[in-house]
Amino acid sequence: MTEREFATEVVQRLQGAGYQALFAGGCVRDELLGRTPADYDIATSATPDDLKPLFRKCNYFGASFGVVEVLGPRGGDGAWLKVQVATFRADGDYSDGRRPDTVEFTSPEHDAARRDFTINGLFFDPVSERVIDYVGGRADLEARILRAIGDPAKRFGEDKLRLMRAARMAARFELAIDPATADAIRAMAPQIGVVSAERIAEELRKMLENEHRVRGVELLQDLSLLAEILPEVKASPVDIRATLLALPKDSTFPLVFTALCADASATTMTAVARRLKLSNEERDRIVWLAKHRTALTNAPELPRSKLYPILAHPGSRDLVALGFADAAASRSEPVGAEFAEAVIRQLDPLQFNPPPLLNGDDLRAMGYEPGKHFKVWLDTIRALQFDGVLDSADDAREKVREFAVDARG
């Protein structure tokens, strides 16, 4: 059973019990666009209490807002099927700029009116196969327009993250933003700072990982949002466009994020990652890329002891992609990136990341007392190994003995 089939069964059971029940929001939009929805949401006249006798397995985590998760059988991928079922509602004030202080269970017309954009305010009855549109969303979808429902300032005032979401959705679905909606975003852009760092980061993540990331960033700039959320971006719109267009379509979030902040140092990127509360893995990759951003510029001239450790890093392919992108932005030839890419393609990873010839235990076994000199000796041995001067542990031990003699003077 597919998720859509399960969602349809839920609608049928609710309608059979005498309640209104409809597909709602993004799943309707996606199907009208010919896309496969990521999930299905159902809006209904039934309250959470009404659902208890109808569905055996439910999660009531959002019951105070009229939202219940109904669980079904396992789908084709082995995961449990689930749909969110929400009671038609009208929202009270949003004092925290994210969630309504109160909700009132109401009609589908009022439920549609509380949503963010007209294209997300659509309903669909999978039993009668009928689209139900109270907000003009279908016409806007056909006209390729993103429009806030009702008063744009009010919609954005309810949840300031909608300011960023407008840019992401317009980019993702290749829509033009309604002028009144765009004007409200520009006027309210300075208020985006009240949104939590985690929510801003997640919106950026969705935008920058998407194939339409260039349009998304251009909209952030045009709507005065980019300077508010990422003041570290200093490059011109033309250079930003050239950089992002040169990245692979399947680029990772850390790669695109680093490319966007073209002139930021590793120290600055550390602070940005912490401000946005990115994961440790994302932060480490972003900082490494920023630190080594120009390391491959002269890759053909670098000794292997300098080049190979960089290419051995898990982020090396992102770094090469960044090199191509930076060359595109500066209208220069990507000589270093091309050379590094060829090395990665031609060599087995063990050739640019071989096991060390010696370690600290080996030095102790040779009778030397640990100290700061251990790191110096081992780093030098490693560099000579990369450069092909040393290729055996015996040669490395002999070199260490020379170090010890020199150290004694």
Domain segments of the chain as ranges: 1-138, 144-229, 244-353, 360-408
The per-residue pLDDT for 99 is 64
> What pTM, to 2 d.p., does this model score?
0.84
97 conformational bin, left if phi > 0, alpha if psi -120 to 50, beta if neither: left
Cβ atoms 163, 156 nearer than 8 A: yes
Residue for token digits 């990422």? 230
Cβ atoms 57, 69 nearer than 8 A: no
User: Could you report the average pLDDT of every consecutive run of 10 residues in the chain (409 residues)?
Assistant: 94 97 97 95 96 92 90 85 94 61 83 95 97 97 97 95 98 98 98 96 97 96 96 92 94 96 94 97 97 95 91 93 94 95 84 85 93 92 88 92 83
Burial 340-364 (b: 16+ CB within 10 A, else e): bbebeeeeeeeebbeeebbeeebbe
Cβ atoms 237, 248 nearer than 8 A: no
Cα gap 51→252, rounded to integer Å? 41
Class of domain 1-138: alpha beta
Cβ atoms 281, 217 nearer than 8 A: no
What lies within 8 Å, CB to CB, of 130 at 6+ separation is 124
The radius of gyration of the chain's CA atoms, rounded to the nearest angstrom, is: 28
Cα gap 36→163, rounded to integer Å? 25
CATH architecture assignment, domain 144-229: Orthogonal Bundle (1.10)
